Amino acid sequence: MNEDSNKKLTVRERLAYSFGAFGNDAFYGLMSGWLVVFITSHLFNTGDKATDAKMVSIVTILMAVIRIIELFIDPFIGNAIDKTKTKWGHFRPWIVAGGSVSAIFLLILFSTMGDLYKKSPVGYIIVFAILYIVMQLFYAFKDTGFWSMMPSLTLDSRDREKTATWARVGSTLGGGLLGILVMPAVVAFSATKTTNGDTRGWFIFAAIVCTIAFLSAWAVGLNNREVTSDIRKNTEDTSLKGVFKILSGNDQLLSVAIAYLCYGIAVNVTGSLEIYYFTYISGQAQAFSIMSTINVIMGVIASAVFAPISKKYSRKAMFVTALCLMLVGLGIFAIAGKSVPLAILACVVFGMPQQLVFLVVLMTITDSVEYGQLKLGHRDESLTLSVRPLIDKFGGAISNGVVGQVAVIAGMTTGATAASITAADQVKFKIAMLLLPAIFLILSMIIFSKKVILTDQKHTEIVAELEATWGQQFENEDSETEAAEVKGNGTVLTTPVSGELLQLEDSSDPNFASGKMGKGFAIKPNDGRVYAPFDGEVAAAFATRHAIGLKSKDGLTVLIHIGIDTAKLNGTGFVQYVVQGQEVKKGQELIEFWDPTIKQHGLDDTVLVTVVNSKDYQKLAVTEKFGKTVAAGDPIMEIE
């Protein structure tokens, strides 16, 4: 382990990374949502509405196609970043370069380019395509590098959690404030004080956001550095081929992915069209800022109540209830008409449950890692977790194309006002904004309800089964040379945790008490710190953080299991300081657990330690008397 492994982040480093998250999400909102609004409502103004509509249609479809193609390029971007070797590390060069170039190119896209579209429509489309492709590629490098960098900032689990929290606050503020400030700012900077501003107002606002994105990228590059460690050499390439492969074999992941895709299309389309509703139906574009402010507050509240709600209700119940509320929101939109208060209420009812849906989906996809491991016989963590962001990007790409076409069909392009939108136009708009998303939400609800069976209890059962079968892969796998070496030298196992030494046979867990998990011992802990009993490698690290498997260079394989049935806690009360594949030294802290949390849930806190490949050894003898209090690091078992 490199000495950097123990590095803790300073306040300045956390602030820099949080500022990076702020700028990153503000930029994404401008690029993904507001660029389409600018293009459809302000850019093309030739005086010929048919030509303007044609340009809007072509450009927005082009944006959607480019973003979808980018999905196939993303895995190569991630792998290219991993292979980057500079004195600045893997990520910082891409964060700075990607953030700088994408900011400059997006700002150009928010300009009229000298009214090029009037002089040469084809020329404008070609230039736009080149600028948009370059901007998207450099942003993809920056975005991937930024979020991939977080695990490399520190190897300390608590420090990571704190940094992630700061970053999440930064990203939430970046995305939230953009929605709140965009319309007042655009109008304030515009030459003509119309309800939705003009091209000058949009360019100045874009310049401010792009400048923030530029500076935040440099703030991360100059203030954050990557720690060096053997852990980071253990990477898993992500590819679309690999994603489709695990989707075909993991039915739970596939079901969640399809349900989330239907949901994502509905949310992206309706969410992107909300500003059009306030502008062209209600006639009060700046009311969008009031709605955004309320939605940010309600979103924070929804995130805060997720934990207590999840203890009382199943994920399926929360998912279905959330989508039902969103359907109610669409219903309120349908009757809102020009009423701003009703439109705001509709947005809030539609928007607030989205945080709950996101967390339910995130937890279910995370649990599908273990489901797939049990079913397929191998663990595909990176590939499994990459499914959600891929679907998010696909939904965003689809919405770009749909919004552009809806704006054209409903007459909501440059020069249009609430007064110019006919009743027929409003019907067309509402079909796209309300009816089609409602159909996708219902499909999502049906798929999740009928096909997704992963509950907290089911996941606990899967983890327990994985534990019970984990050691089988190590039985009899040592070569004769290794076996002879172990037999000749002998091995002394030390105590991983302090407490009262107990016989494993007296454990209330039948798998351990019967010897099915191997020979060993148990400890009634008086301390919540678990240490490595020998030099070796982390062979298994469970997502629930309640157990860990270690393997020595000689082939000795040990499972340390904290408590009985503690997989039910889903990691609550546990902090893990190492990751799978990491080399550890004897006496190095592996896990810390909060004993009162285990007892508050009515669970047994006994720590169970077994040699899972016991059959490979002639002698496994506990050297201390049962009932005695032992300290972590004391010699406890002789192995030959």
Sign of the CA dihedral running 368, 369, 371, 377: positive
- The residues pairing with 524 across neighbouring beta strands, listed in sequence order, are 500
Chain position carrying tokens 């005695």: 628
Burial 592-629 (b: 16+ CB within 10 A, else e): bbeeebbeeeebbbbbbbbbbbbebbeebebeeeeeee
Structure tokens at 640: 């030959």
Q: For residues 613 and 152, what is the distance between their CA atoms, to the nearest angstrom?
A: 34
Euclidean distance between the first and final Cα of the chain, in Å? 29
Phi, psi for 250 (deg, rounded to 5)? -110, 95
Structure tokens at 393: 């990007």
The radius of gyration of the chain from alpha carbons, rounded to an integer in Å, stands at 28
SS3 592: strand
Q: For residues 429 and 276, what is the distance between their CA atoms, to the nearest angstrom?
A: 9
DSSP annotation string for 99-144? HHHHHHHHHHHTS-TTTHHHH-HHHHHHHHHHHHHHHHHHHHHHHH
Q: Are the C-beta atoms of residues 594 and 605 closer than 8 Å to each other? A: no
- Angle at Cα 353 formed by Cα 349 and Cα 355, nearest 5°? 135
Instruction: Please give the helix or strand (H or E) that residue 366 lies within, else none.
Output: helix 353-376
Catalytic residues: 561
Q: For residues 560 and 610, what is the distance between their CA atoms, to the nearest angstrom?
A: 7
Sign of the CA dihedral running 622, 624, 629, 632: negative
Burial 125-152 (b: 16+ CB within 10 A, else e): bebbbebbeebbbbbbbbbbbbbbbbbb
Q: For residues 380 and 402, what is the distance between their CA atoms, to the nearest angstrom?
A: 34
Chain position carrying tokens 């209700």: 313
SS3 207: helix
Q: For residues 54 and 220, what is the distance between their CA atoms, to the nearest angstrom?
A: 41
CB atoms within 10 A of CB 338: 11
